[in-house]
Amino acid sequence: MLEFNHKPVLLEECIQGLNISPDGIYVDGTLGGAGHSKEIVKRLSPKGMLIGIDRDTDALEVAKNRLQEYKNVKYIHGNHDDIKQILDDLEIHEVNGILLDLGVSSYQIDTQERGFSYMLDSNLDMRMDQMQELTAKDVVNTYKEEELARIIYEYGEEKFSRQIAKKIIEARKQKEIQTTKELVDIIKKAVPYYDKKAGHPAKRTFQAIRIEVNNEIEPLYNTVKNAIQSLKAGGRLCIITFHSLEDRAVKKAYTEATRKMYMSKRFTILRMW
């Protein structure tokens, strides 16, 4: 049995926000360890349904175990960016509520062999979906210098992005960069001073590479729009963002949807930011 430690954040707020009706259909697009899902499914009658999506098979295994007493849960190994297709395949066209708790889980970060952490030495991996081909090792060893610098700057908001990209290129000319520790050592050499307030020198580069490997930002805008369109009248969408990049993409999509949907008078968008 996998040890999945992840404390669900904003749990009360999400449950309140979803305004669960017992016979409704709900989607948790980031099932993880089912912390939020358990609270949703508890409130459903046998007529209600929860659809739990995750691209990490470990998360699905843990969630199935944690929710085993509930028979009205469907588990989908997939990407919430495909929410429309997933619902179509289930012949469900509208749902009462959708939850997205964006980003990585503590389980993924803390599991050494998944290669997400700059604190643990491991193969450079960082894939949320273990079936995916692209890994962090591919990004670090095959992307051009300008591309690496752009990613580290945009997704990591790292001011030393150019210096880090340059050092990566120099290092990989000697040998393939294979482990998280090797990458951390390269980053440390590239960062001219250690700004304690900014945290570990590899923190932002690791975030950037993880976002690139898992394509976390680009699809988000359409995902949010598709999620809104998958809701019934009066349906609720709750999204928890972790950093400003996610936050911006979500707010942009919400704002546009609000404009259009006010006109159709079909939806009320409750905003908590």
Give residues in contact with ligand SAM (CB under 6 A).
6, 8, 30, 32-36, 53-56, 59, 79-81, 101, 103, 105, 128
> Which residues have CB under 8 Å from 173's CB, separation 6+?
none
Question: Which residue lies nearer to ligand SAM by CB, 180 or 214?
Answer: 214
Angstrom distance (rounded) from CA 52 to CA 31: 5
- Lookup result for tokens 């570990």: 200
Question: Which residue lies nearer to ligand SAM by CB, 180 or 241?
Answer: 241
Question: Which residue lies nearer to ligand SAM by CB, 11 or 261?
Answer: 11
CB of residue 110 vs ligand SAM: minimum separation in angstroms? 12
Q: Are 236 and 96 in contact (CB under 8 A)?
A: yes
CB of residue 146 vs ligand SAM: minimum separation in angstroms? 27
23's enclosing H/E stretch is none
Question: Which residue lies nearer to ligand SAM by CB, 30 or 230?
Answer: 30
Question: Which residue lies nearer to ligand SAM by CB, 32 or 156?
Answer: 32
CB of residue 29 vs ligand SAM: minimum separation in angstroms? 6
Name the β-bridge partners of 245.
Answer: none
Question: Which residue lies nearer to ligand SAM by CB, 36 or 236?
Answer: 36
- Lookup result for tokens 């969630």: 63
CB of residue 135 vs ligand SAM: minimum separation in angstroms? 15
Question: Which residue lies nearer to ligand SAM by CB, 81 or 158?
Answer: 81
CB of residue 103 vs ligand SAM: minimum separation in angstroms? 5
Angstrom distance (rounded) from CA 181 to CA 129: 22
CB of residue 216 vs ligand SAM: minimum separation in angstroms? 6
Burial of 54 (0-12, 13-18, 19+ CB in 10 A): buried
Closest by Cα among 153, 158, 160, 116 to 137: 116
CB of residue 37 vs ligand SAM: minimum separation in angstroms? 7
Compute CA 94 distance to the chain's CA centroid, rounded to the nearest angstrom: 23
Torsion of CA 134, 140, 146, 150, to 10 degrees: 70
Name the β-bridge partners of 119.
Answer: none
Strand intervals (E) in 184-227: none
Tell me the CA distances in angstroms from 8 to 106, 149, 174, 179, one per residue in order.
10, 33, 43, 30
